């Protein structure tokens, strides 16, 4: 079983839709979670990171963590064609926890159509 | 914000040759850089952790003699793919963590744009 599981998609939505991207994880040691966006042939760029269970909002993006079910989500409101990219979730263990590596999911390819 | 530059962005080489990829942190110092490999529609796979002034730490299954990593300064790490073969063709991405880091300890990484290696 992979430590971080993510549906690869592609997920196709119309412009303006609310997008829900999800990941599950198996490593209970993960202390924080990140969402990265990767455009084709580019490196990933950080969107958000969260620590505790609950929601964190930043503009049109909301990250949600449910540690009890080991489930993380990213919601995109009012999706735009420019949001079309691959979204990678990742779990991490802090430096003080003895590790400093991120474990990534496979990424979900999102297409927002006009 | 933090910027990581990776060069070259694309390289094509013949089988048996060696290729060097550079990763530079442009506006911050990075004691630690990470090298990933990504196949199409697959996850980023961590290859090794590059530590400034010391030997790199390789992930299980990654040949250290095949993928030579040098982190000679706080702003530069290099990955050399030695005696490259077609199966080494992939997208290689580096990332770096600002030494100032996150007060909370989160491993907030900045990624380079990646280097696409094609071995003929």
Would you call B62 an interface residue with chain A, using a CB distance cutoff of 8 Å? no
Average pLDDT, chain A: 89
Residue A104: HSE in the Cβ half-sphere, 13 Å Cα cutoff: 24
pLDDT of residue B58: 95
CA distance B120 to B118: 6
pLDDT tens, residue by residue, B17-70: 999 999 999 988 888 899 999 988 788 899 999 888 889 999 999 999 999 999
Q: Which residues of A touch B107 (CB under 8 A)?
A: 32, 92-95, 100-102
A46 with B108: Cβ contact below 8 A:
yes
Q: How far is A13 from chain B (nearest CA, A)?
A: 19
* pLDDT of residue B114 exceeding 60: yes
pLDDT tens, residue by residue, A21-77: 999 999 998 888 999 999 988 889 989 888 878 899 999 999 999 999 999 999 999
Residue B34: HSE in the Cβ half-sphere, 13 Å Cα cutoff: 22
Contact, B19 vs B83, CB < 8 A? no
Residue B116: name the closest of B16, B6, B24, B42 by CA.
B6
Partner-chain residue, chosen from A42, A88, A93, that has the shortest CB–CB distance to B114: A42
Would you call B58 an interface residue with chain A, using a CB distance cutoff of 8 Å? no
C-alpha torsion A25→A30→A32→A34, nearest 10: -40
CA distance B72 to B56: 11
CA distance A1 to B11: 34
Contact, A8 vs A106, CB < 8 A? yes
pLDDT tens, residue by residue, B79-103: 999 999 999 999 999 998 876 655 5
């Amino acid at each position: 079983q992979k430590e971080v599981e993510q549906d690869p998609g592609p997920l196709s939505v119309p412009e303006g839709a609310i997008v829900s991207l999800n990941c599950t994880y198996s490593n209970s040691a993960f202390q924080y979670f990140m969402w990265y966006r990767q455009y084709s042939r580019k490196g990933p760029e950080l969107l958000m990171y969260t620590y505790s269970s609950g929601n964190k909002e930043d503009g049109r993006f909301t990250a949600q963590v449910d540690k009890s079910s080991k489930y993380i989500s990213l919601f995109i409101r009012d999706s735009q064609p420019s949001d079309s990219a691959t979204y990678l979730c990742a779990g991490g263990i802090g430096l003080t926890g003895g590790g400093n590596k991120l474990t990534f999911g496979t990424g979900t390819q999102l297409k927002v159509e006009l | 914000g933090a910027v990581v530059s990776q060069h070259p962005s694309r390289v094509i080489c013949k089988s048996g040759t060696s290729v060097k990829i550079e990763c530079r942190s442009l506006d911050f110092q990075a004691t630690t850089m990470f090298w990933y490999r990504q196949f199409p529609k697959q996850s980023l796979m961590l290859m090794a952790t590059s530590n400034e002034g010391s030997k790199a730490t390789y992930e299980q299954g990654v040949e250290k003699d095949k993928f030579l990593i040098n982190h000679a300064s706080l702003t530069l790490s290099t990955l050399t793919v030695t005696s490259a073969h077609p199966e080494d063709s992939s997208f290689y991405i580096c990332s770096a963590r600002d030494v100032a880091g996150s007060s909370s300890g989160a491993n907030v990484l900045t990624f380079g744009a990646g280097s696409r290696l094609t071995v003929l």
